[in-house]
Structure 1
Amino acid sequence: MRGLIKKYLLKQNRRSRKVNTRSGLSQKSRKSWFFAYLVVFLTGCNTTHDPAAVSVSDLVAVPVQASVIVDGPIADVVQDSAVTADDSTEEPTQTLQMHHVQSGDTLYSIAWIYRKDVETLATVNHLRAPFMIYPGQMLTITDSGEGEPGGEKENKSHSKLVKKGTNDVVVGQSERSLIPEPKSAGISKDKAPNGAVDWHWPLQGKVVKVFSFQGEFNKGIDIRVKLGEPVRASADGEVVYAGSGLGMYGRLILIKHNSSYLSAYAHNKVLFVREGDSVKAGQKIAEIGSTGIKELTLHFEIRRNGKPVDPLRYLPTRGT
């Protein structure tokens, strides 16, 4: 069939050439060419049914966009992918706070207010020792949350670091129950490590309010005293704040004992030390009063890396 069509087309082509040389393509020739092409088109559509009969020259490459075949609804897959991405990149957010420095403020007193480590606060604000600040200055406070007593925060990751000997082992959630909790040798279960600080009671008296982060909130202990009773330094250290600029604390003394620990003595009547003084354990630093409160008590705190800890876990055991 194709052979006959080709012969017909050649014959028509020879005839059309003669016409084209004189007056262009005749109407009859145009109709013949149209008819011939129509026959070829229809013949090509209906003669090749066997895929094996198609030659390589008859194939046409058609570019297609790559696709991914997914079992199940597409919406579900997208949602699961989004959740996985959020979980894998989740980071704790921090709220930026600013503090306007007032007359009488020190970096230690500001760190005390916000429960921050003074070294961290100094680093954030590009301050160097002795951490001089001035009224009107704006300090940046990075607020990562209150945390738990003692500055310990819950680890939100899916693994837990367990120290055993000198090796650090990462343990997944499903394996936590298989490994016993590490025990600290030589430390009483009811006492905390003192960080090489020899702690003493600041005065004698009954503890009327204990440390608590639940119910009746208290960041230290309150000791009932008599008016004018001497308050003594609980350990060797340096006075980093002595004043009455923190409102509810009344006349307050802050003593730095090392890079980790501070102690606080609040509601004093008279202060016998000032900022920069070095003090020894048992040295008289103040007389008790009732500034900032109605009841006659000494409010005593110990802070580790800026966070309140229970003083009763550090002070020598005695009757309360």
Structure 2
Amino acid sequence: MTLSYSRTALILLAATSLSACTTYAPFGEDAQVARPNYPTRLPPPDTQTLPPAQSGPDQAPAPQAGPATSPVQSRPLDPVPNGPAYVTPSTPPYTPPPPPYQPPYQPPPVVMQTITKQTVTGKVVDAAGPPKSHTVKSGDNLDAIARAMGTTRKQLAEDNDLKEPYVLRPGKVLKGPSSDAKAYVVGSGDTLYAIARRFSVTGQALADANDMGLDDPLTTGRKLILPDGFKDKGPTTVTTRVQVPGTGLQTPAPAPFQPQAPAQQTPTYTPPPAVQPEPGPPRTTTTSSTKTSVTGKLVDVAGPPQIYTVKNGQALDAIARAMDTTRKQLADDNKLKEPYILHAGDKLKGPRTTVKAYVAGSGDTLALIARRFSVTPKALAAANDMKVGDAIRSGRKITLPDGYKDKGPIKETVRTTVTLPPEPRRDPTPAAPPPSRPYTPPPAQPVTPPSTSNYSRPTPPTPSRPTPPPASSSGPLSDSQITAQGRGRFNWPLRGDIISDFGPKGTGQRNDGLNIRANAGEAVRAAAGGDVVYAGDQVPGFGNLVLIKHPDGWVTAYGHLARLDVKMQQKVVQGQQIGQAGTSGGVSEPQLHFEVRFASAPSERARPIDPKLVLGR
């Protein structure tokens, strides 16, 4: 039984207080005499040591005769080398030796490498382009138009369902034979915006030239017709610096060992381990939202003047009646003098016609307007003397070409299915823990002084390493759980090359979102519907910034905007333009900084997540 050091000293002192002098027999032939570390009485010099007295329960030790002894001198004995260290009451308690020296933890250095890759590496090939078109002008005839378009009068009439005598009205758009065009062969990983950047055109112009939407997926090997005026700058080279795997701080440094003094262990009640509830069946919820665009009105506007081709033998009066005007007005419009001599084939301008026009609204594009009125973007652009990729300001009146059919505003229904984590099944009657009982120490055991002949050094208790606290059962959601929560909620606000990806950058900094390269002034659209909770430029480093709060704890951020198109407390729908990409906030090239943040509970603070976990491909 191991005793504490102070108790051992007291027992030794009590056991030896009955005798004035004590000697100890050696433990072996070569063993040294063990001497106690307290005062003893010594025999006089030059005197033979008396033999030990025989003692018994009823017999006292016999007196010994001898010469007079010198006065008793007492002093502490020197400790025996390598012998047991007997402790007096004044000896301080045992202190364990300090742990071996451990140098401070030095994390391994971070090694960066430069990675250069090329994108949009497909080939440019010849392809059959869209049919040629010609807008009829005053004085045009079918033969001249056919020669200009490289076809015959008969073929041109059949392509446009014209009947003799082939009356043409100014402003009418005629379709001719297919044109020769260049096309780009789509490669793996190519996007519409990356292809548009290589060929120096806008993404909208490229989409319109191929009769597709901006968010339509691209299949490898597809040939995309390049719009007029493209300039091939060659494949795009992207250079990034990334951290070499295996370098830098990988795992936290181990905590240095800190011994603790042994403490009295008091048994306490330990509850049984909690039983994890069984997960229930997975839950899914489906939401749908309807987005309406191209909601402008139709109005009447003045169109081009009527044109009449004089036939052999016709007089000015008959032509005026046919064009619903007077002879004098017709003569004045064409600067004719009496006697009004007319020749077959002459072109006479009559009164101006009345045509329909569409009043453009915010966010309208030429392709969306063309889709509503069942015409091609090129025909719509030709009727308004503009290009397919030109921007349309709100309130502009867009003249509609002949043969249009109004299908009404475009409505798109988006259905989103969200998989929620399974709801645990809880036991309605959990077992109550047993009542706690006060701790009762064990009864004290009688202490028996140890035999001095077989006394051994007491062994100090071994200090134990502190036990770390158990890890919390609740923590942040995993990437797979976040992907399940946000699947189908968000669209890309802008398509382009990734300048800076999500995560640490290797220099003590990190990016909480994505930086997407863009053209200056390119439209930035809301990734999902929600409420604008901030729109301004008061956050340092972000320039013009928009924050949109979405249902279920989601928030998106849009930084470095050149212009803000929304205000605080405004409700926006998915795909609505909220601003334009730019260089505000001190960046060196036009781009968009986009973040997605998520809080699984209202009491939590929304934390940044990798946007690519919830965005579509």
Judge same fold: TM > 0.5, yes or no: no
Give the TM-score taking structure 2 as reference length.
Answer: 0.23
Greater helix proportion: 1
Q: Which has the larger radius of gyration?
A: 2
Give the TM-score taking structure 1 as reference length.
Answer: 0.42
Higher relative contact order (CA 8 A, sep 6+): 1
